[in-house]
Amino acid sequence: MATAAPPRPAARTRRAAPRRPAAARPAAVLGLIAAGALGVLALWWSDTPAVAGAAGWLTGAGRITGLLAGYAAPVLLLLMARLPQVERGVGADRLARWHAFGGRWLVAVVTVHVLSVVWGYALTDGRGLVGEGVEIVFHYPEILKAALGTLLMLGTGAVSARAARRRLPYEAWYYLHLATYLAVALAFGHQLATGADLGDGPTRAAWYALYLGTAALLGWYRLARPWLLDRRHRLRVAEVRREGPGVVSLFLTGRRLDELRAEPGQFFRLQFQAPGLRWAANPYSLSAPPRPDFLRFTVKDLGGHSAAVAALRPGTPVRAEGPYGAFTGRLQRRRRVLLLGAGVGITPLRALFETLPGELTLVQRAGRPEDVLFRAELAEVARRRGAAVHELVGPRARIGDLGRALARLVPDLAEHEIYLCGPDALAEEAVRSLRAAGVRAGRIHRESFDF
C-alpha cells in the first residue's frame, strides 16, 4: 500500500547544528561494574582472617553472597535508570539483556545467601533448618523486612522469566516489575543492621552513597526529568495515520524539539495522557528523521497499549522520555550498508535509510504484500539519493535460505555493514545466515524490541 510522505514544516528557523551528545562505551560500563564487584570481594577478604569448620564455610559463603547481592541490586536498577549517556552508548536492548542476565544471577545469589546463612547458623546453634529459619526471621533486626523483600524479588524473577513474560501483556509485566524497588528498599535496612563487613567507617558511607545515589538518579531520570521535558516541549498528538494492517504512524508536535537532540534510529518511551494509557511508558522508535517541529513514530498493534494508540485524538498530550538507543549512525564504519528489517522493525531503518551516508541497500521482509510498510516513501528516498530498495515477500518456504536470498539482492554481501531490526526469530535467522555468508560479527548491528 502506498503511503504519503510525512508533512514538511511550513518554515524552518536556521540554528546551529546541535552538538552530538556524549555516549558511554559498553566495555567501560562493564569494567566499572566488575571493578565494583571486585571491591566487594576485597571487602570480605580483608574482614575475614580465617574460616574453620562446615559452619564457618557456610556462614562465610552467606556473607560473600549477601555482599554481592547487596551490590548487584542497585547496579541492576542503574542499568534501567535510563541514564542518557549509557543508553546512547550501550543501547537499551543490550542494557535490557544485561539486566535480565543480572536479575537471574541476583536471584541465584540471594537464594544461596539465604540457604547458606540458615544452614551455617543451624550447625552453630544445633537446630534444624526450619527452626533456625524461624528464629532468624523473627528475632534478628530487620530480617522480617528482608524476608519480605526476598519473596518479592523471587516473585519478580518468576514473572520476568521468558516463558512467563510471553504470556503477560507488556503493561502487566511493567507494573509487576515495579515490586523490585520495594524489594531493594526492604532489604537495605537488613544490610546495615546485620552486615558486619560494612563496619561503621568509609565502607558504610560508600554503601549509603551507592543506594542513595541510585535512588537520586532513578528519581531524576525516571520522574523529574520526564516531567521537566514535558513542561518544556509540550508534545501533543497532531495526526494518527494508518500505514497498513494494524499499523499506524503517530505524528507529534511540540516546542523546540531540536533541543531533544534525537538521532535517526533512536526511540522514545511515550506516555499518552489519555484514559487507560497514562500509567505506562512504552518504547516506540522514530520512523522518520526528527524535525524541529514534529516527530513521527510508527506503532504496530501488539497489545492493549499499542492498539489504543490508533484511537488517539489530535491534541492528546504526550509525555516523552528519551531519546534512547545506540542503533544510530554512530555505529557505521563502512561506506556500504545493508538495512534489513521486518514488521515494525522497519521503523528505525526507515529513518536511517534517509540519513546514513554511503551506498545503502534496504531489504524489507514481509509475509504478505500488504504487510510491506512505507513502500512509496522508501522508493522516493531511494530515487533521491541513488540507493536500492528490495522486498522479500512470501512464506519462509518460498523465500528459502535468507543468506542466499540476500546474496542475490546485494552483491558483495560480506563487505557490507548490517543494520538489522525485526522479530527475534527473523533476527536470529538473519545473524546465522549473514555469518555463514562471511559477514563479520562486528559488522552486524542488531536492535531488539524485546525489552
Q: What is the four-CA torsion angle of 186, 193, 133, 138, rounded to 10 degrees?
A: -80
Residue bearing the bigger pLDDT, 170 or 219: 219
d(CA 68, CA 51): 19
Residue 317 DSSP class: B
Residue 312 DSSP class: P
Res 296: pLDDT: 95
- Asked whether 339 and 362 are in contact (CB, 8 A), the reply is yes
Helix, strand, coil share (%) of the chain residues, nearest 5: 55, 15, 30
Least confident of 184-193, 355-364, 390-399: 184-193
Q: What is the DSSP string of 96-112?
A: HHHHHHHHHHHHHHHHH
pLDDT cut 70: percent of the chain above it: 87
The pLDDT confidence band at residue 142, using thresholds 50, 70 and 90, is confident
Q: Is the predicted pLDDT of residue 17 greater than 50, yes or no?
A: no
Q: Is the predicted pLDDT of residue 20 greater than 70, yes or no?
A: no
Least confident of 59-68, 91-100, 190-199: 190-199
Residues with Cβ within 8 Å of 163's Cβ and at least 6 positions away in sequence, in order, are none
Res 4: pLDDT: 41
Q: Is the predicted pLDDT of residue 3 greater than 50, yes or no?
A: no
The x, y and z cell numbers of residue 67, run together, are 555482599
Q: What is the mean pLDDT of residues 119-142?
A: 80
Neighbouring C-beta atoms of residue 357, cutoff 10 Å: 10
Res 126: pLDDT: 81
Res 16: pLDDT: 46
Q: Is the predicted pLDDT of residue 353 greater than 90, yes or no?
A: yes
* Phi/psi of residue 10, nearest 5 degrees: -65, -40
CA neighbor of 41 nearest in space, from 119, 109, 118: 109
Q: Is the predicted pLDDT of residue 13 greater than 50, yes or no?
A: no
Q: Is the predicted pLDDT of residue 277 greater than 90, yes or no?
A: no
Residues with Cβ within 8 Å of 329's Cβ and at least 6 positions away in sequence, in order, are 263, 264, 265, 352, 355, 356, 357
Angle at 221 between CA 215 and CA 227, to 5 degrees: 120
Q: What is the mean pLDDT of residues 166-186?
A: 72
Res 172: pLDDT: 66
The pLDDT confidence band at residue 163, using thresholds 50, 70 and 90, is low
The pLDDT confidence band at residue 358, using thresholds 50, 70 and 90, is very high
Res 303: pLDDT: 58
Residue 143: C-alpha distances to residues 155, 190, 195, 310 (Å): 18, 6, 11, 48
Residue 286 DSSP class: B
Strands (E), 383-443: 388-393, 417-421
Q: Is the predicted pLDDT of residue 38 greater than 50, yes or no?
A: yes
Q: Is the predicted pLDDT of residue 165 greater than 70, yes or no?
A: no
* 3-state SS class at 289: coil
Res 49: pLDDT: 73
Q: Which residues of 380-414 are buried (b: 16+ CB within 10 A; e: fewer)?
A: ebbeeeebebbbbbeeeeeeeebbebbbeebeebe
The x, y and z cell numbers of residue 329, run together, are 549512525
The pLDDT confidence band at residue 443, using thresholds 50, 70 and 90, is very high
d(CA 318, CA 274): 9
Q: What is the mean pLDDT of residues 74-90?
A: 87
Compute and round to an integer the Cα radius of gyration of the chain. 25
How many helices and strands in the chain, by DSSP H and E?
Answer: 17, 11
Res 275: pLDDT: 79
The x, y and z cell numbers of residue 163, run together, are 516463558
- Asked whether 403 and 409 are in contact (CB, 8 A), the reply is no
The x, y and z cell numbers of residue 323, run together, are 531519546
The pLDDT confidence band at residue 356, using thresholds 50, 70 and 90, is very high
Highest-scoring range by mean pLDDT, 37-46, 115-124, 247-256: 247-256
* Phi/psi of residue 432, nearest 5 degrees: -60, -45
Q: Is the predicted pLDDT of residue 396 greater than 90, yes or no?
A: no
Res 204: pLDDT: 82
d(CA 305, CA 423): 19
**What's at 425, amino acid-wise?**
A
* 3-state SS class at 419: strand
Q: What is the mean pLDDT of residues 197-210?
A: 79
Q: Tens of pLDDT along 366-388? A: 888 888 999 999 999 999 999 99
Q: What is the mean pLDDT of residues 71-81?
A: 91
d(CA 110, CA 148): 13
Res 10: pLDDT: 41
Q: Tens of pLDDT along 234-267? A: 999 999 998 877 888 999 999 999 898 899 999 9
pTM to 2 decimal places: 0.73
Residues with Cβ within 8 Å of 342's Cβ and at least 6 positions away in sequence, in order, are 364, 365, 366, 422, 423, 426
